[in-house]
Amino acid sequence: MIEDVIGRARVQATPELEEYYARLAKHGSGALWTVANEIEPWFPQPRSIPMHWRYEDLRPLVIESATLVTGDDAGRRVVYLVNDERRDVSAAVGLLYTGLQIMNPGESMTAHRHAAAALRFVIEGEGAWTIVNGDRLKVGPNDFAITPKGTWHEHGNESDTTQVIWQDGLDIPLVNALDSNFYEVHPDLHQIPGKVVNTSLLEHGSGILKPDGRSWAKRYSPLLAYPWERTYEALVNLARVSDGTPYDGVIMEYVNPHTGGSVMPTMGAHMQLLQPSQSTLAHRHTGSVIYHVTKGRGHSIIGGRRFDWKEHDIFCVPSWAWHEHANDDPAGEACLFSFNDFPMINALDLHAEEAMDANGGHQDIGEGALNSG
Ligand code: 1HN
């Protein structure tokens, strides 16, 4: 890619240079000016495209998978959602993975752990449980749970009648891109859970108090499950006193109660509420986001394309793509769950953000893309 700009690579190829490049290649080398403009874009060039996955399309296919393979053979029975431009790394957007996992009544999966971190957002079914490092969590629709890096985990469905479907979110493409992934099957195939269910919620989930004299040195949240009722209550309470942000409406982050920071070092998660007929302003930022429509119907315009969504649909916003959301229901609110790679973007000081102004121009609203925060 030649750019006729001073300060950018603008060498025209000649037969002499081509012959020189061929000799460099033989020695495991190359001329920077042939690739410099590609590897140093003026602004982010995500390969991922905005995508929308309709639950009504995917649900029958997910249910079909439960008759095609056993949980034991599949390891986890998951239909994963993949970005058209990121099939090579099994990512839904950027370096984030997501999928829909189904468990039949009475079924359970074996215990394992990996360097990739995982999160779950429950879609349907009442009997789901997961054991994370010995803590048995019971989770129902719209509950959010985490399986941080290196924690032993196994899941099941104790219902006699209904299937469970939940959304998995993982940072696997990231961890693989960093060549840092490890995987282990539990030596006993199963953990022995503690006697009390949802221990982490009883210990760390009060929201206003933290246990005295208890230290927590790990990099992830000691709270492993975030029930929907309390999430929704917090959101509605905030909506009574705040309009939230112009770009996202009333939005709250699931936090590590010990630090107030993100739930895990690589991935964060939010729940947001859009008031009846509310539409937000467009902005763009570095970092990738995967949304799950928890409630309501509306649309988002992402990278200039309109996606009409309804309950349980999933869509993604690639890094640096303009996006805005609208609740199209004049009578009811809409809620969006989302997870992202912001903790990592922030840890690496790569956050940049711009707002679109009324004339379609843009305005920096971060610390400046090339300044250090
Ligand atoms: C995993 O461990 C689970 O434990 C789900 O439920 C999906 C996708 C890729 C790698 C590991 C699970 C996964 C996964």
Domain ranges in the chain are: 51-363
Percentage of the chain modeled with pLDDT above 70 = 100
As a whole number, mean pLDDT of residues 312-338 equals 98
- The pLDDT-based confidence of 361 (bands split at 50, 70, 90) is confident
Query: Which pTM was predicted?
Result: 0.97
- The pLDDT-based confidence of 239 (bands split at 50, 70, 90) is very high
Q: Is 118 in the pocket of ligand 1 (CB under 6 A)?
A: yes
**Interstrand relation of 144-147 and 183-185 (parallel, antiparallel or unpaired):** unpaired
User: What phi and psi, each to the nearest 5 degrees, are found at residue 204?
Assistant: -120, 5
In angstroms, how far is CA 91 from the centroid of its own chain?
10
H/E element, 199: helix 199-204
Q: Is 172 in the pocket of ligand 1 (CB under 6 A)?
A: yes
Residue with CA at minimum distance from ligand 1 atom 3 = 76
Is 80 exceeded by the pLDDT of residue 360? no
- The pLDDT-based confidence of 359 (bands split at 50, 70, 90) is confident
**Interstrand relation of 297-302 and 268-274 (parallel, antiparallel or unpaired):** unpaired
As a whole number, mean pLDDT of residues 156-162 equals 97
Is 90 exceeded by the pLDDT of residue 30? yes
Ligand 1 centre from 308 Cα, in Å? 29
Is 90 exceeded by the pLDDT of residue 99? yes
Which of 79, 168, 182, 266, when mutated, tests ligand 1's pocket best, judged by the most ligand atoms within 8 Å of its CB?
168
Q: Measured from the CA of 120, which atom of ligand 1 is nearest?
A: 6
Contact residues for 107 (Cβ-Cβ < 8 A; gap 6+): 71, 156, 157
Beta bridge partners of 276: none
d(CA 284, CA 152): 36
Q: Is 173 in the pocket of ligand 1 (CB under 6 A)?
A: no
Give the pLDDT of residue 172. 98
Give the pLDDT of residue 255. 98
User: Terminal CA-to-CA distance of the chain, rounded, Å?
Assistant: 31
Contact residues for 346 (Cβ-Cβ < 8 A; gap 6+): 373
Percentage of the chain modeled with pLDDT above 90 = 92
Ligand 1 centre from 76 Cα, in Å? 6
CATH topology of domain 51-363: Jelly Rolls (2.60.120)
